[in-house]
Chains A and B, each alone.
Chain A
Amino acid sequence: MTQWKHQHLLGLQDLTAEDIELVLDTAQSFKEVSSRDIKKVPALRGKTVVMLFFEPSTRTRVSFELAAKRLSADTLNIAASVSSTTKGETLLDTARNIEAMNVDLMVVRHGTSGAPFILAQGLKCSVVNAGDGCREHPTQALLDLFTLKEKFGRIKGLRVGIVGDILHSRVARSNIWGLTKLGAKVTVCGPATLMPRGIEAMGVEVCYDIRKLIKNSDALITLRLQKERQQDKFLPSLREYGRLFGINREKLAEGSDELIVMHPGPTNRGVELSAEVADGKQSVILDQVTNGVAVRMAVLYLVLGKHDM
């Protein structure tokens, strides 16, 4: 079995297929811990994990925090609105000051692509990327991969469609890296204005017809339409987006009964997914959330190993 050699987890771009498989296998073992009466193991006893979030988040932050706590690590939350960066301190200075209090790992979310790299270079502690700008959200992609593997028993050869605002989506990018490395066939689908030019170079196909995509997919990863990024007139209206690319029962019926629908959350009901699809039996959205804790436990466990040997 491969050994984990990375001090940080900044993106799936930097990982090999074997690294990703190791995270998924380790997460499988950790999933059982959360089903116990006593949901705690002493693996990271005495370690301190700091969540440094410069963008709003509920799911990801809670998931990381539970993951760390179930491994017996101590956790600390810092939200950007109350941090000294609002007084003009730089990101790296804030992080260095926190690190000076002997923390072992920082989980970072930042609106600027590459921010976790700056921290990883400037800090001695481990850094885990919880989403940076439009670049990567590695743990989301890992939990999507874990969920796909759990439902289908494999990733290789799966036909996965990614639907929505590909241009701004870090979830899409991390998933494309992960899925293609593990041998899935990825098709991206969305409005032409939200489709980055040259995306085919990442090893994916592009499709503008959601019905065609549904007919030819084993799984759909739907992306949240980021309303906060839509002031620039990428779309005529949310309603039009919902009509053309939103998934409802009628469109879903054209695909296989085995097709599963995923969403990283938070869902805009009636835009990306209709309520009956989001709550339907083909939806695995809540399984994704459950698996997120196991996957993040695996990441924290592996990243906090010693790497200087």
Chain B
Amino acid sequence: MPSVQIMDQDAIRRAVLRMAHEILEKGGVKDLALIGIRTRGVVLAERLRTAIKGIEGKDVPGGTLDITLYRDDLTLVGPKPVVRETLIDFDITDKRIVLADDVFFTGRTIRAALDALVDFGRPALIQLAVLIDRGHRELPIRADFVGKNIPTAKSQNVRVFLGESDGQSDHVDVQGAV
């Protein structure tokens, strides 16, 4: 299937740095914690934490969320999807949580992530940071921090490649015809 590259390594680096600035602008580092949604959201959350440390010189807590058990299509999919570990080793109650994910599409992943998060405590605020917003929401959910908005057809496939999770240089491409 033909694919078109829409972000390269530099574009991704700049987008992450800008998002880090925006996160800080909207509330500083006080009570801030970043939680990545497996798998590439974890990479994005880590990069945002590194960028925030570079800007403010402070470490903010980070966590990993696996939303498999909260999916709304669990009874519809074939063999059960692989469940990975959720790692949140701090109390999220009264924290400002920034959820990170790579591609923001239907909003169902985020819905599941919100359900999962509230099982861990009651954050003061939950915000959403995504590298790509490709539209086609099926739920009333929006992102607070966006790396890049890409208009797509629903049939197209947006693929994000990040060094840490995919073993190849960072880039984003769109697969399939409009």
Contacts and interface: CB of A to CB of B under 8 A. Distances in A.
A3 interface: yes
A277 to B, nearest CB: 33
A295 B115 CA distance: 24
Contacts of A301: 80, 83
B87 A32 contact: yes
B178 interface: no
B70 A3 contact: no
A42 B79 contact: no
Interface string A1-30: 101110000000000000000100110111
B85 A43 contact: no
Given A29-B83, A30-B83, A42-B70, A309 B78 contact: yes
Given A36-B119, A40-B119, A307 B69 contact: no
B1 interface: no
A43 B119 contact: no
B83 A307 contact: no
Interface in B91-119: 115-116, 119
A26 B82 contact: yes
Contact of A36 (B66, B70, B79, B120): B120
Contacts of B119: 36, 38, 40-41
B110 to A, nearest CB: 16
Contact of A1 (B82, B115, B120): B82
Given A40-B119, A41-B69, A42-B115, A307 B79 contact: yes
A305 B74 CA distance: 8
Contacts of B85: 28-29, 32
B75 interface: yes
A33 B84 CA distance: 11
B97 to A, nearest CB: 16
A64 to B, nearest CB: 18
A5 B80 contact: no
Interface in A62-89: 71
Contacts, number: 55
Interface residues of A, number: 29
A43 B79 contact: no
A15 to B, nearest CB: 15
A32 B38 CA distance: 16
B80 A305 contact: yes
Nearest to B81: A305
Interface in A268-309: 298, 301-302, 304-307, 309
A40 B74 CA distance: 16
A296 to B, nearest CB: 14
Interface string B115-154: 1100111000000000000000000000000000000000
B115 A5 contact: no
Contact of A26 (B70, B74, B77, B83): B83
Contact of A3 (B66, B79, B121): B79
28 contacts: A4-B80, A5-B79, A25-B82, A26-B82, A26-B83, A29-B66, A29-B83, A29-B85, A29-B86, A30-B83, A32-B85, A32-B86, A32-B87, A33-B69, A36-B119, A37-B121, A38-B119, A41-B69, A41-B70, A41-B119, A42-B69, A42-B115, A43-B70, A46-B75, A301-B80, A302-B80, A307-B79, A309-B79
Instruction: Name the 6 nearest CB pairs between A and B, nearest first.
Output: A305-B80, A43-B69, A41-B69, A309-B78, A29-B83, A3-B79
Given A36-B119, A298-B83, A307-B79, 14 more contacts: A26-B82, A29-B85, A30-B83, A32-B86, A33-B69, A40-B119, A41-B70, A42-B69, A42-B70, A46-B75, A71-B69, A302-B80, A304-B80, A306-B77
Interface of B: 66, 68-70, 74-75, 77-80, 82-87, 115-116, 119-121
